[in-house]
Structure formats: C-alpha cells, structure tokens
C-alpha cells in the first residue's frame, strides 16, 4: 500500500527545490493547476509549464514534453487524470526526475510504485501548495 513521506520530509524536500515542471498546467486561470502554480511562483519557485499546445503560461515559456525542457527539473508536479499518470512516470524516468508530486485527487498506485522503484521520491494525492503553506511557512 502506498504511503506518502511525512509532512516534515515533504517540507525538507520542498526547501531544496527550485525548478518545478508542472505537467498539465492549464492556461485557463479558473483551473486548479493555474492557481496552484501561480501561488508556488509567488513563493519563489521557478514554474516550468509543460503543456502540449501552449506556448506561454504564467509569463513562462511552456514546453510540450518534459524531455523538451532545457533546464534541470527538481520536481515534476502533475495535474493529469489517473489514467495518464503511467505516461508521465515514463517521461519522468526517461529524464531521471528526482521527485514526482501527483496532485490531490489523483491516485495511480501502480505508477507511483514504478516511479519509486526507479528511484524517485513520490508524493501522491496531496496538494503541493497546501502542503507548502501548511508545513513549510
């Protein structure tokens, strides 16, 4: 059974992170991915939008895939439905992402376990913004 790291471990991890690639970051301001990413950007994180068709989101250049991001990625934050998490994990493994954070309400235990076996820290079914606000500030 999947278990997330402790709140203390999540906070320690977030304090080491600078570049967050957000898979599924919507250009629509009414979407949760937009609000969460905007808040994390305000906290000083470098948000890297990953969206197949957008060219810019939140004033940042968007990339169609994780592999096309030219910057080092410290954490991949995922706003995709559970059935798409397997493909995102494949991309994370290919780029050797150290951390995958699967947003609140999204659960795919087999994909999370595959990411963990590949060496990634995995947080699932948690909101990165809420956890940062509640545990790190």
Does residue 12 lie within any of the structural domains? yes
Report how far residue 18's alpha carbon sits from residue 47's, in angstroms, rounded to the nearest whole number: 9
Q: What is the pLDDT at residue 111?
A: 98
Interval 48-68 mean pLDDT = 98
Please report whether residue 42 resides in a domain.
yes
Residue 113, domain CATH = 3.40.50.720
- Give the model confidence (pLDDT) of 22-42 as tens digits: 999 999 999 999 999 999 999
Asked whether residue 69 carries a pLDDT value surpassing 90, the answer given is yes
Which pLDDT score is estimated for 1? 87
Is 75 a domain residue?
A: yes
Q: What is the pLDDT of residues 75-131, one digit of tens each?
A: 999 999 999 999 999 999 999 999 999 999 999 999 999 999 999 999 999 999 999
Q: Is residue 1 part of a domain?
A: no
Given this model, what pLDDT does residue 93 score? 98
What residues make up the domain containing 97? Answer: 7-136
pTM assigned to the model:
0.97
| Number of structural domains the chain divides into | 1
Q: How confident is the model at residue 71 (pLDDT cuts 50, 70, 90)?
A: very high
Average pLDDT of the segment spanning 63-84: 98
In a domain, 2, yes or no: no
């Amino acid at each position: 059974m999947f278990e997330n790291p402790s709140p203390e471990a999540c906070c320690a991890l977030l304090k080491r992170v600078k570049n967050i690639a957000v898979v599924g970051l919507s250009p629509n301001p009414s979407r949760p991915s937009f609000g969460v990413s905007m808040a994390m950007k305000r906290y000083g994180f470098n948000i890297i939008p990953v969206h197949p068709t957008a060219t810019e989101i939140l004033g940042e250049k968007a990339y169609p895939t994780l592999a096309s991001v030219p910057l080092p990625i410290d954490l991949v934050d995922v706003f995709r439905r559970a059935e798409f998490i397997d493909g995102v994990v494949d991309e994370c493994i290919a780029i050797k992402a150290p951390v995958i954070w699967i947003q609140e309400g999204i659960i795919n235990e087999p994909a999370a376990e595959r990411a963990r076996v590949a060496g990634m820290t995995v947080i699932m079914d948690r909101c990165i913004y809420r956890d940062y606000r509640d545990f790190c500030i």
